[in-house]
């Protein structure tokens, strides 16, 4: 049986990456032997997913800011050569850019609100990004019970945290911020956030 190749795009901020962790985790659970690659902005984004406890085979950096055109073209060609079977767009990715990129890469099986003709602000404060991200791949992975994003510290950091803060074997919850205020369709909308 051919190994599935899956590309997950999350070229956004660190909080957005945290909101995408459950998607990556559940895709890995569903396809344990798949080749999974991610498109991220840079090393900080990569580190978020490395701390999620989920195995990722490759990270592609595709930030358009401050990168020469030849480097961007090289990255796109590398992704094209991988011939991905499945592509997942992050909820907040602009529709036109995301769909064009996956079309250019030749990905046939695609997932994302962009393919449902939704703008990322259409659902404003009704559904949290974690849930929206999981909902968009429900057809691919089925229903998910544990929808929480988890970040794990490295062993040396765990030791230091335990020593400095006396938090042996405890879980820490981190609030990654409030919802963003955006102007959309003639009014201000707020993306849903966790209550502090």
Each residue's pLDDT tens digit, 64-75: 777 888 998 999
- For residue 28, which phi and psi values (nearest 5 degrees)? -65, -40
Which of 112, 25, 10 lies closest to 62, judged by CA?
10
pLDDT at res. 191: 58
pTM: predicted TM-score of the whole model, two decimal places? 0.81
pLDDT at res. 123: 59
pLDDT tens digit sequence for 77-108: 999 999 999 999 998 888 889 999 999 999 99
In whole angstroms, give the CA distance from residue 61 to residue 176. Answer: 23
List domains and CATH numbers for the chain: 5-190 (3.40.50.2000)
Determine contact, residues 24/8, Cβ cutoff 8 Å.
yes
CA 62 to chain centre: 14
pLDDT at res. 169: 67
pLDDT at res. 94: 85
Measure the CA dihedral 119/124/128/129, to 10°. 30
**What residues in the chain have per-residue pLDDT under 50?**
196
pLDDT at res. 188: 64
Measure the CA dihedral 122/123/129/130, to 10°. -130
Helix (H, G, I), strand (E, B) or coil at 88: strand
Mean residue pLDDT of the chain comes to 84
In whole angstroms, give the CA distance from residue 147 to residue 153. Answer: 20
pLDDT at res. 111: 95
């Amino acid at each position: 049986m051919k190994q599935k190749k899956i590309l997950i795009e999350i070229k956004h901020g660190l909080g957005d990456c945290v909101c995408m962790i459950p998607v990556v985790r559940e895709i890995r659970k569903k396809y344990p032997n798949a080749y999974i690659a991610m498109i991220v902005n840079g090393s900080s984004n990569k580190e978020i997913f490395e701390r999620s406890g989920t195995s990722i085979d490759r990270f592609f950096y595709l930030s358009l800011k401050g990168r020469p055109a030849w480097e961007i073209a090289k990255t796109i060609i590398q992704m094209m050569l991988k011939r991905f079977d499945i592509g997942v767009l992050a909820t907040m990715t602009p529709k036109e850019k995301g769909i064009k990129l996956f079309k250019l890469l030749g990905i046939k099986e695609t997932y994302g609100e962009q393919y449902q003709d939704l703008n990322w602000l259409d659902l404003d404060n009704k559904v949290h990004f974690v849930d929206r991200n999981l909902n968009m791949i429900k057809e691919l992975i089925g229903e998910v019970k544990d929808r929480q994003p988890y970040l794990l510290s490295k062993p040396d950091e765990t030791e230091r945290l335990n020593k400095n803060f006396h938090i042996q074997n405890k879980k820490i919850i981190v609030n990654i911020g409030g919802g963003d205020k955006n102007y959309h369709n003639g009014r201000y909308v707020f993306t849903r956030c966790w209550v502090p």
